Amino acid sequence: MAVCDKSIPGIERVGVYVDGFNLYYGLRDLAGRRHLWLDLSAMATRLLRPHQRLVAVSYFTAAILNDPPAKARQETYLAATESRGVQVVMGRFQEQAVRCHSCGTVRRTYAEKQSDAALTAAIVADVATSQVDVVMLVSADSDLCAAIHAVRQLDEERGTKTRVIAVFPPRRRSNHLRQLSDAWLPLGDAVIRQSQLPHIVHAPDGCVYHRPQHWN
C-alpha cells in the first residue's frame, strides 16, 4: 500500500485487498462477462460505513498465459484499474501436468502462484506499520485464513485491535474466513452493477482504455 494516512479520531482507515481470481470467477458465475469491467475503487467505497475512510485498494492477480486475446483484455482492464488509483500486484502461473485417474491421459494445466502470499504479505505490512485500522478482504479463499491469523498475532504482540471484514464474491462462501473475521458480507449484485467503469476510461496520463467488446 503506497498511501500513508495519519489516523483521525473516530474515523477507521480501511485498506481493501482483492483476490483477483476469486472475484473474477464470482463475477463470471453471477453474470458471465457482463460485470467484469468493475471499478474496484467505486466498489470499495460503496462497502464503507459512514465512520470509515478508504485509504487504498490493492488488487492481486496473475498474467494470463497461452491466450493472447484474453491476455490483451486483462492488460486493458489492469491499466484502466491502475489509472483509477488501484495498486495492481502481479503473481504468476506455473504449468503443471495432471493425469486422469480413469484413462491415464495427461493434460497441461496452470496453477496460480504467489498471489496469495503477496496478498498476505501486503496485509501484514500495512497492519505492522499502522497504515490501516480495518482490513477488508475480498475473497472466499480459505487459504487466506493465514493472513487473518498473522493479523491476530500482530495485534496480540502490539496490544492493538485490527478489524477484519471478509467480503465474499458472488456465489462464494468460506466458513473458515467467516469464523475468523470480525464481520462478513456478500458482495451484492447492486454494488457490482453500480460500480462499473465507464465504457471509455480516460487516464490522468492521457491514455484511453476501452471496455473490451468481448465483455459487452
Residue 3 lies in a domain: no
Q: Is residue 2 part of a domain?
A: no
Does residue 46 belong to any structural domain of this protein?
A: yes
CATH number of the domain to which 49 belongs: 3.40.50.1010
Count of structural domains, the chain:
1
Helices (H), 134-201: 145-158, 175-180, 189-194
Q: How far is CA 132 from the centre of its chain?
A: 16
Q: Does residue 4 lie in a domain region?
A: no
According to the model, what pLDDT value does residue 95 have?
Answer: 53
Residue 181 lies in a domain: yes
Cα distance between residue 96 and residue 94, in whole Å: 6
**Residues with Cβ within 8 Å of residue 146, at least 6 apart in sequence:** 116, 120
Consecutive 10-residue averages of pLDDT for the chain (216 residues): 55 97 97 98 97 97 93 98 97 58 60 78 96 98 96 96 98 97 97 98 97 95
Q: Would you state the pLDDT for residue 1?
A: 47
> Is residue 5 assigned to a domain?
no
Residue 89, H or E segment: strand 87-99
Residue 191: partners with Cβ closer than 8 Å, 6 or more residues away: 43, 46, 47
Residues 6+ apart with CB under 8 A from 60: 17, 18, 19, 20, 89, 91, 115, 116, 118, 119, 122
Is residue 1 in some structural domain? Answer: no
How many CA atoms lie less than 13 Å away from 107 in the CB half-sphere?
6
Residue 7 lies in a domain: no
Tell me which residue range forms the domain holding 91: 12-215
Position 114 scores a pLDDT of 73
